[in-house]
Chain A
Amino acid sequence: MSKTIRTRMGDGELVMMSAGEIKADILEGSKDAADRGKIPELSANELDQLYNIIAEPGRIVSVNPGEEVIVIDDGSVLGFISEQGDSGAGLPLSRSQAILTYEKACGADTVLMPHHDFSYKPVKSIINYEMQDYYSTSQLTTIPLFYGAQPNMGLYYKPDGPCDNPSELLPLGKIKEAKQAQIDAAAMMEDDIVYIFKELNRVGLEGLNLDTCGSAGDADFMSALNVCVEVKKINPNMPVVIGMASEFVLGMHGEVEFDGQRLAGMYPHDQVIVAEKAGADIFGPAINVNSSKSIPWNLSRAVTFVKATSEASAIPIHANVGMGVCGIPMLEESAIDCVTRASKALIQIGKVDGL
């Protein structure tokens, strides 16, 4: 078979593959997700549909009229104003100007005001500035304006924070101490984010995005869920988005629970259940990209996980489709052929409510 179909590897490398090779990778990717998550594989029709999306000859692809979804973001405005670390263009705009540009020039459905570090901890010390900037900007925006950042529990460990570092304690066999450090860090992070929320809530916060939850493991995810519970106690009408760091909750602690459910080892279709119980309004699954495998393999795997999550959920599912997750290559300047194919596949087969 001739290699005539243009696609990419997970690291963004352009490759030409035959129809047979792509179909084999799609099948294998779906099986991998099904095996790991103990969820159904894609059906024969869905595998064909995915192949057709990947093999579409156009440079970019799109959904059919009427199939559009809501596109939210996790700091898209940093793409205008930040630097290489955020794949940013470094434009000399203020954050508010970038937000209004994203709303007006790009036609975004919602927009997020991000802290430049994109972690909650550094926000605490400049909360007055953030309150003023949020308040001023929210007077000008028409689309929903979220405030968001990562919980990022790693910042609470030495040398960046006050807690002993589990990554140093665990190799020494100090299991009990490592677990306690995580519980301490989780409590501090929860206090900080709830404090930040309370202050922003006073100036008219329209929605809170807890992005990249679980990046430091199960205690990090637990803390984010607890934050959501507290936010809803303070303002039951506050929209909360919980987006994940990866497909699998790492058991860095191993025993922490939420609502009687052990969090370590959860895949997205289980993560969404605890997010719902915490009161989240929107859940964002994040499926890892294997940069050594093809995009057909990665996208099929992502669609299989996301479809199972959407079926298990009672709340809107917005798949994370940034660099290196859900079928988007791990590439600083993301290739739009893959970005648009991920969009279409996750909507038509994964049945997401948004991206």
Chain B
Amino acid sequence: MPVAHILASCMGGIRTTGDLVAWMQMTRKMRLNEAKQYVADKLGIKVIDLIDEEIMRPLREELGIGTLVAIPGAEKGILAKNKIAKLLNIEINSVKLFQSKLK
């Protein structure tokens, strides 16, 4: 059932920008359109491009914020989230813990 919702209406997670828009709803209580605009501004793209794999696939690799396709040596997991927190200027608890261990 969740897969049916994902296909019908989901932003696409790390295929595109679903995780980034979700972070803005979670950390700033942003409604959907505000969250999309915020993320688009941070990425320097149009809102409609947020769900375009052709744009987001290389952009996510370039920014080091994780890609759906596994790229050997590229950022993923906590390393990608570390860059996402910086890109979006938000606090992510797991990243905060990770950074505290690097000191």
Q: Which residues of A contact B (CB under 8 A)?
A: 60-63, 65-73, 76, 79, 87, 102-104, 106-110, 138-145, 201, 203-207, 235, 237-239, 281-282, 314-316, 321-323, 328, 334, 336, 339-340, 343-344, 347, 352-355
Q: Is B7 an interface residue (CB 8 A)?
A: yes
Residue interface mask B31-64, A partner, CB < 8 A = 1: 1100100000000000110010000000000000
Within 8 A of A (CB), among B66-103: 66, 68, 76-78, 80-81, 84, 91-98
Residues 1-37 of B at the A interface (beta carbon under 8 Å):
1-15, 18-19, 21-23, 25-27, 29-32, 35
- Bound: A272/B96 CA distance, A: 30
In the complex, chain B residues whose CB is within 8 Å of the CB of A352: 32
Chain B residues near A334: list those with CB within 8 A: 1, 4
Q: Is B9 touching A347 in the complex (CB atoms < 8 A)?
A: yes
Q: Given A104-B68, A141-B77, A237 and B10 touching (CB < 8 A)? A: no
30 chain-A/chain-B pairs, Cβ below 8 angstroms: A60-B7, A62-B8, A68-B9, A68-B11, A70-B35, A71-B10, A71-B11, A107-B6, A138-B78, A139-B77, A142-B19, A142-B80, A143-B14, A143-B19, A201-B93, A204-B93, A204-B96, A206-B92, A237-B91, A239-B26, A281-B25, A281-B29, A316-B30, A316-B32, A328-B1, A334-B1, A339-B5, A340-B9, A343-B5, A344-B9
**How far apart sit A204 and B1, CA to CA, in the bound complex (Å)?**
29
Q: How far is the CB of B74 from chain A (nearest CB, A)?
A: 11
User: How far, in whole Å, are A312 and B93 apart by their CA atoms in the complex?
Assistant: 30
Chain B residues within an 8 Å CB radius of A63: 8-9
- The complex places the Cα of A60 from the Cα of B18 at a distance, in Å, of 22
Contact of B12 among A107, A238, A328, A353 (CB under 8 A): A107
Q: Cβ of B32: which chain A residues have Cβ within 8 Å of it?
A: 69-70, 316, 352-354
Q: Do residues A71 and B6 form an inter-chain contact, with CB atoms below 8 A?
A: yes
**Cβ-defined contact, B9 with A67, below 8 A:** yes
Question: Once the chains are docked, how many angstroms separate the CA of A315 from the CA of B98?
Answer: 29
Main secondary structure of the interface of B (DSSP, over half): helix
Task: Tell me, in angstroms, the Cα distance from A67 to B94 when the chains sit together.
Answer: 30
Whether B9 and A109, one on each chain, are in contact in the complex, defined by CB atoms closer than 8 angstroms, is no
Contact B31 A143 (CB under 8 A): no
Which residues of the partner chain B approach A139 to less than 8 Å between Cβ atoms?
Answer: 77-78, 94, 98
Residue of B whose beta carbon sits closest to that of A61 = B8
Not counting A66-B51, A67-B9, A109-B18, a sample of 14 additional A-B residue pairs whose C-beta atoms are within 8 angstroms of each other reads: A62-B7, A69-B10, A71-B6, A108-B6, A110-B19, A140-B77, A141-B77, A206-B94, A282-B25, A282-B29, A314-B29, A322-B1, A344-B8, A354-B25
Instruction: Determine the residue in chain B with the shortest Cβ distance to A236.
Output: B91
Chain B contact residues, CB within 8 Å of chain A: 1-15, 18-19, 21-23, 25-27, 29-32, 35, 47-48, 51, 65-66, 68, 76-78, 80-81, 84, 91-98
Contact A353 B18 (CB under 8 A): no
Within the complex, what minimum Cβ distance (angstroms) separates B64 from chain A?
11
- Chain A hits for B18, CB < 8 A: 68, 70-71, 107-110, 143
Given contact pairs A70-B32, A315-B29, A316-B32, A60 touches B8 in the complex (Cβ within 8 A): yes
> By the criterion CB–CB under 8 Å, are A76 and B2 in contact?
yes
* Contact status B93-A143, CB under 8 Å: no
Q: Which of A60, A69, A144 contacts B11 (CB 8 A)?
A: A69
B7: chain A residues at CB < 8 Å are: 60, 62, 340
In the A-B complex, list the 8 residue pairs whose CB atoms are closest, starting with the nearest: A109-B18, A204-B94, A239-B26, A142-B66, A204-B97, A353-B32, A340-B8, A143-B19
Q: Which residue of B lies closest to A315 (CB)?
A: B29
Which A residues are CB-close (under 8 A) to B25?
70, 281-282, 316, 353-354
